[in-house]
Amino acid sequence: MEKLEIVTYPDKFLSQPTQPLEDIDAQVQDMIERMSATMYEAPGVGLAAIQVGWNKSLLIYDVFRDEKRSLHVLINPKIISREGEVLSENEGCLSVPDFRADVKRASAVTVEGYNRKGKPIKLDAEDFLAIVLQHEIDHLNGTLFIDRISSLKRQMYKRSVKKKLRAK
């Protein structure tokens, strides 16, 4: 399966909110397969369609890091409730390479959306899964994890990216 190119910061495309998926057709199924190949090869635990240049409300995730792969698909997901607070330590992102930071997240979320067959699903998530879902749904809303850290840390990262781009 051909992997997709991951869009990286500072590409402005990442700051756009995605559009809802209307039809779950063969193109969507193909995109899910290509996104999964990309995510596993990267390696990552989640990937939003916007990160591979597709402006649709679709994300995939797999929190297992071994042979027990368990790919999950969420289409048009929405967080409908949040509880508690946790510090997501050393959070990273395939679209924000070479940078990690601590991010405040809800410790538990409830998410509604559709699976890859169009069946409505409701998911209660805690701990690491809750963090992954919040991170990926943020992408669908045009938010990067660096938008959730202190302005000082964010500016330091932005300066280093600009410096690298100028060097190229």
Cα 130 to chain centroid, rounded: 12
**6 is a domain residue:** no
pLDDT higher than 80, residue 1: no
In CATH, what number is assigned to the domain containing residue 32?
3.90.45.10
Total of domains in the chain: 1
Predicted pLDDT of residue 95:
97
Residue 7, φ and ψ in degrees, nearest 5 = -75, 130
- Which among 2, 33, 112, 136 is annotated as catalytic? 136
pLDDT digits (tens, 9 = 90+) for 19-78: 999 999 999 999 999 999 999 999 999 999 999 999 999 999 999 866 788 999 999 999
Burial class for 167, CB neighbours closer than 10 Å (0-12, 13-18, 19+): exposed
Predicted pLDDT of residue 167:
87
Predicted pLDDT of residue 53:
98
Q: Is 136 a catalytic residue?
A: yes
Residue linked to tokens 């995939």: 60
pLDDT digits (tens, 9 = 90+) for 83-140: 999 999 999 999 999 899 999 999 999 999 999 999 999 999 999 999 999 999 999 9
**59 is a domain residue:** yes
Domain that holds residue 96: 12-167
